[in-house]
Every structure is written in C-alpha cells, then in structure tokens.
Structure 1
Amino acid sequence: MSAGPAGAPAPDREDRHPDSRLVPATYVVLQREGGSGTEVLLQLRQGTPYMDGWWACGAAGHVEPGESFLQAGVREASEEMGITLAESELSYLATVHRTCALPDPVEQRVDVFVTATTWTGEPHVAESHRAAELRWWPLDELPDAVVPHERLALDALREGRRGSLLLHGFRQSLTLVAAVGRNGVIGDGSSMPWHLPTDLRFFKQTTMGGVLLMGRGTWDSIGRALPGRRTIVVTRQRGWSAPGAEVAHSLAEAFLMAGDGEVFVVGGGEIYAQTIEHAQRLILTEVDLEPTGRTRFPPVDPSAWRVVSRQPGSGDDAVVAWVTWERLDRPGATSA
C-alpha cells in the first residue's frame, strides 16, 4: 500500500471508488446477404422489465465470471436463438461504452458487439418469455424502435466502421425545471395550479431543442407534445401511448432513450424526488402564490447547491424570479 499525505496510508482503490465497476456484455449480430443487401437478425423484446417493444440484436447477455466476451457470445446465441457458434466464427464489430445521468453502478456498461455469417442450426426464439419474434431486417432499413445503443453498433456495421469505440450518454446532463409556490407546492396532482404566461415563455426558451422527461400525470396536465422538443413519458402502464410521446417504463429506460445532451425533468413530484440527487442544475421559477395541492418540489439543500443566477420576474404575473442552481460537487463547481 502506498503512502498518502504526511505518511498516511493511501486508501485502497475500492475505498476511493466503492461503487466503481463496469458491467460487461456481449451482443451477437447475425448477418446474411439478401435481396436488399446485407440483412441482420433482430429480436423483438417482450416480457422483460427493460425495453419491451424494442428491436435488439438476436442475442445478448452479461459476461459471466471466468468467461471471455467471445465465450459469452457463443453461450447467448445458443440460449436465445438455439444455434451453435464457434468462437472462430465471431468477428469483432465495435465496443459501446455507455452510461447515463443515473450513477447507479448497473448503468455503467461496456458492450462488445460481434458478428457472424455462418452458424449451425436454424435461428429461432428459444426464450419466448423474453422475445416475441426474430426477423431479418435490411441493414439500410432498420425499424425506428431499435434499442439506441445497439443502433450505434448497427450503424457502424452499415457504414463499414468495424473496430469502432462508440460512446453513449457521456455527454448527458440532467436539469430539473419547475415552478414552485411559496409553500413549495407545484401542483395538485392533476393540473397546473396557475397560469403564468411569462413563465410559459421562459419554459419554452429554456427547453427548446432539448429532451423533456416527465411522468404520466404531467403529460396529462399538459395534454400534448410540445413542439421543438422530444418528450419521454415514464409510466408503469404497459401498452400506454400518445401522439408525440416516447414511452419508457423506468428512469433507466428513459435516460437510455434520451442519449447524449441535456435532459430536462419537468414533473411530477415523484420524478423530481427520484432525480434531484443526480441532477447538475435546477431551474426554478419562484411564484408569489400559495396554492393548495399535495405535490411539492423536493427541498433544495443549500449545502449541496448554490445559486448561480437570479432573473427577476417582469411583474406581469406572480413570477418573482427565475433562479438557476448548480450542484456544488459537480466537476469544476466551487462554492460562492
């Protein structure tokens, strides 16, 4: 063990990063030449708690202790597609290193993609509780709902970029946006407690071009997709859909779908409570009203956040100010 300052023992690596680990996985892409050029075999996910209704590689799974990436690919191809592969039949395609705004260790992943053009047996759905069907798709005509980080690897295959290192989510940042009354209330659980034209204009200017992440109740209170922004709705209700909404059934799914860039969490109270500890910014509208309602914004801990800007309201409505907070422990942040 090396010594730290003043001769003190340096902390073990596990002590410095107690939750630091990467989850390795192998993805197997079967390919063939068809009438439309190169085709790849994809599975339609179903019956799992993650990305149901999305198209994914024909087989994929975690690398087990003591396995290589290639050995994992051979095993997963047998388990999920009922085919026999030799390690020598697998060709390296790309590595996707991915993360998201949630620092949960299970969301820190390294995915190795391999391809095969020869195998033994006829590919079929061998785990019907996890996949609805297998289908060959022209590489130039993939369905819209391909799992986002897997599409990165398939795009690399289509473009002839074998051996690529691809990143997903490393430029993802999280900002919570809310209008908050003097009593902390943000709503009554079904509708907005106020109509503030200046705040609506500020909200549009702030979020334009970004990704809006919201719960089902917030979607219902807005009633439609807002132009110029992607909208991801988190709901536990399977089968729910609405025009203009992308549907996720967990926060992890939502952040995977969001990809790189700034993600704006815009409600409701439960979503705010689950994401505030992972956010880099808060943009809060201070409203000079005390509406009744059971939905409140989580308390902002002044030891963890600092105000970096305060823009006074125009006086046209009850908006006191628009206040931007930054997390003190984010990289590069210093206390005022």
Structure 2
Amino acid sequence: MTSEFDLIARCFARPAPDGMLGVGDDCALFAVPHGKHVATSTDLLLAGRHFFPDVDPYALGHKSLAVNLSDLAAMGAQPIGCLLGLALPNVDLPWVEAFARGFHALCDTHGCPLIGGDTTRAADGHVAISVTVFGAVDAQRALKRSGARVGDDVWVSGTLGAADAAYRLLSGQWARDDALLAACRPALERPEPQVALGMGLAGIAHAAIDISDGLLQDLGHILAASQVGATLQEADLPVDDALAALPAAQARGCVLGGGDVYQLCVTADPADRDRIIQSARSIGVRITRVGTIVSQRGLRVLDTAGQPIGDLPGGFDHFAST
C-alpha cells in the first residue's frame, strides 16, 4: 500500500531550484529579489463545488495552480513558488500521478516550483485541494483594485462566457449539447493565467483584477475600491466564438455574469492604449477595450442602441449561489 510519504516522494517531490529549500523539510525557504515585496494568494477547490467528479486529473492539476497564478497576474507579480495541500479519500495512484503531471507542467511554464505542502485522507470521501502561491513585485508598480481613475479605459483580456456555458451544461442547468460542451469545456477546466500580461502591464495599468466570479462582479470590486463607476459597451465585449449559436440573453448572462474565466480586467489611461495593445500583442494575447471609468458610482452596460441594459446578471457567491 502506498504511504503518504511514498506518494509525496513519487508524485510531488522535485529538486528545489538553486537558492531554495523545497519539499522535505518542515518549512520551505526562498529569497525575494532585492527591492521587491512578496505577493501571496490562496485558493481552495472542493469536489462538487469547483470541479466535477469526472474531471480529467491532469486538467485538474493544471487548474488548481492556474487559479492562483491568475491572482499573481492581477497584481503584476512574478511567480516564485507554491505550496499544495491535497486531501484524498483514497490513493488512486494513476489519478494522483496525472494530477501531479498537470500541476508540475504549469509550474514549469511559469517558473513557479512546488516547494512544500501537505497530504491527508479526506474524511468525507471528497477531494479537496488548497494551493498557495508566492510572487515578487515592485510595490510601486503593483496592480491594485484601488487605482482606477475617472476617464480610464476598461480592458479585458481573452474572451468571456465559455467557462460558464460549460458549467451550466455539466451541472444540468442547460439541456445536453455535446458540441457546445466540447467547445466550451477546455475554458472551464484548462484556464490559462495571464501572468506575462499582468507583469507587462505593471506600471502601465492603474487597476486590475482577475475575473473569477464574473466580469460585472469583479469589475465592481475595482469600482468599490476606487470609489468610481463604469460604463461598458455590450457590443465591444469579447464574446467567445463558442457562444455564437446561443440566444442573445443566454449568451449575455454567460459573458457578464459567468465566472471561472481567469482573464484580466484592467483600467488604464487612454493615452496608453498603444502600450496596452502592444503589451498583449507581444505575447500573443487578445485584449479588448470594453468601456470607460466614470465619476458616477455604479456599473452600467449599454446595448447597441446606447440604452442601459436592465436586470444585469449577478456573479458567483459561494454562500448565496446554489
């Protein structure tokens, strides 16, 4: 039978990069580049709440780290390392090995080695995953929610809506549509954190947030922290191509309220439009200007006729959503 320590050694232990003390001691040790601050974030993923039982374990390993790296991206921080906590109902070695491969692959992509963590048996029979990431950022250039200014452009990276559509299909909220699910599921289970974009926009953008709970809700956090409002143009929103066949109202709900996007929403001076576009283009990332920061509090979305859209969708809330 595979022990806890065998599992760690087989699936998760790797030599630490030079200058680090990683898996195998009571604590990990790492240095922060001179003049930088530590940026850190933790996310918890629970079976049945954040992922479905039939999820591919490689994809789950990828997403477990991706959602945390997305937080570093939103601060403009460079990844340093991460910790992993994993609760399992039993040791399914092929499953754990696939999970570890997906996790380590994204670690390697973003230079964010696994330097410690813990494993335990899940008493309730469900998988639980906790990841903590550490990054380094110049405090004067860090992207925060509180920096938006009246007159700023509002930008969104990537596309919106596909992850929410996949969630609704998998959860049974929508009727089965295998073609739509195949097109949308990768967005839900294999999000790509925009780390390079966040680092490139540090010192250019005024405010930023990653879109985890829906564009309107997450942009709303920027507006509250910055004490401003915003007006968005529905026609400019980067709707994922997979939603083209959906009724307009259905697609709108996914785009404005759908979570699990892990793209960036940033605000910046209109004078920096070319710099924003070039920063995204240089790394092959799509970025779209979708609105404007205004002095009047609140968030309005205008339709193609320039009229405010009523009954806007809300975002995700762990304690209010069912």
Write 1 or 2 for the structure with the bigger share of helix: 2
Which has the larger Rg?
Answer: 1
Q: Considering the TM-score relative to the shorter chain, is it more than 0.5?
A: no
What is the TM-score of this pair, normalised by structure 2? 0.27
What is the TM-score of this pair, normalised by structure 1? 0.26
Structure showing greater relative contact order (alpha-carbon pairs closer than 8 Å, 6 or more residues apart): 2
